[in-house]
Every structure is written in C-alpha cells, then in structure tokens.
Amino acid sequence: MKFLSRPEEIILFTILKLRKDAYCVPIRKKASEISGKKWSFGAVYVPLHRLEKKGLVKSYFDNPTPKRGGRSRRIYKITPAGLNALAEVRELQKNMWVEAPEFSKE
C-alpha cells in the first residue's frame, strides 16, 4: 500500500475530529493544536489538494457568508477510502510500538 505523508495524515485526522464544518481555517487551527506547531495556509492547502486527488476526502462549497466577504467555504469530508486509510494508519502505529524497548524523552 501507499503510505500517507505525515502532513496528509495529520490533516486527515483533523478532518475526522472536526466532524462537520471542516474547512481550511478550523483545520489549520486544529492541526496547529495537535502538532504544537504553526501551520501556514499553504501547508494546509497542498495536502488537502493531494488528499482530494487520492480520493481520500471530497469537498463541496457551502453558501457564501458575509463574514467571508461573500465568498463560500470549501468543506471537506472524509470518504470511505479515507476512513480505510486512517484505519491503516492506526494499525501501523499500533504495530510499530509492539516489541519496542522502553525509553523516555530527554
């Protein structure tokens, strides 16, 4: 199988956690919270675009709001394929820690 890149993985998780109204601004915020690092918009757009191309998320435009200067939001949803991919990531994570020796962060 093809692995997801780390940013793609994180973005996919944030969309999952946000459940609904997952568009760029909250995704970026959530991703920053999870990773503890600042995400630029570009760093969000590019993985989102790739995820969509891979068919792991799909997007639609909701109604424009005055708050956004009359522009619509692009809302992302995870597709079944996306859920599978996440499941595989979880599996992978679990498998990776099996039989790993104990250590702590310095």
Partner 1 sequence: MTNEIKPPRLLEKILQYILPRYVGETALGDFKEEYEHLADTRGNTHANFWYFIQIIKSIPAFIGNSIRWGSVMFQNYMKVALRTIRRYKGFSFINIVGLAVGMACVIIILLWIHHEMSFDTHHEKAKSIFRIAIGNELKGESSQRKLVVTPPPLSPALLAEFPEIRASTRLSRGGGEKLLSYENKHFLDSCYAVDPSFFNIFTFDFLEGDASTAFGDPYAIVVSEKMSKKFFGNQDPLGKIIQFDQKADFTVTGVIKDIPSNSHLQTDIFIPFETWGKLYEIPLQHWQYMSFYTYILLDPDVDISRFEAKLPAVAKKYGIPEANLFLQPLLSIHLHSHHIGEISPNTYISTLLLLSSIAVLILLIACVNYMNLTTARASARMKEVGTRKVIGAYRSQIARQFLGESTIMALISLILSLFLAYLSLPFFNSLADRHLVLNGQSLLQILPGILALVLFVGFFAGSYPALFLSSLKPITVLRSGKGRGSRKTRLRNILVVAQFSISLILIISTLLVKSQLDFIRNKEMGFDRDQIVVVPLHEPKIRHNVGPVLEELKRSPQILYAASSMHLPNDVGASTTMKWPGKPDDSKVWVKVSEVSYDFTELYGIEIVKGRSFSREFPSDKNGAFLINESAMKILGSHFRLGIGLSHWGSPDPSGQIVGVMKDFHLNSLHEEIKPLYFYLNPDQGQHLSIRIQGGSIPDTIEFIRDTMERFSPRYPFEYRFFDDLFNAAYITEQKMGSMFGAFASIAVFIACMGVFGLSAFLANQKKKEIGIRKVLGASGSKIVYLLSRDLVWLVLVANLIGWPVAYYAMNRWLQNFAYRTHISLMTFLFAALLILTVTLGTVSCQAIKAALTNPADSLRYE
Residues that bind partner 1 (CB under 8 A): 23-25, 28, 40-42, 45, 49, 61, 64, 67-69, 71-74
Q: For residues 5 and 40, which CB has a smaller minimum distance to partner 1 in the complex?
A: 40
Smallest separation (angstroms) from partner 1 to the CB of 82: 19
∠ at Cα 33 (82, 104), nearest 5°?
A: 95
Smallest separation (angstroms) from partner 1 to the CB of 69: 5
Best CA proximity match to 83, nearest among 14, 3, 16, 4: 16
Query: How far apart, in whole angstroms, are the C-alpha atoms of residue 19 and residue 76?
Result: 10
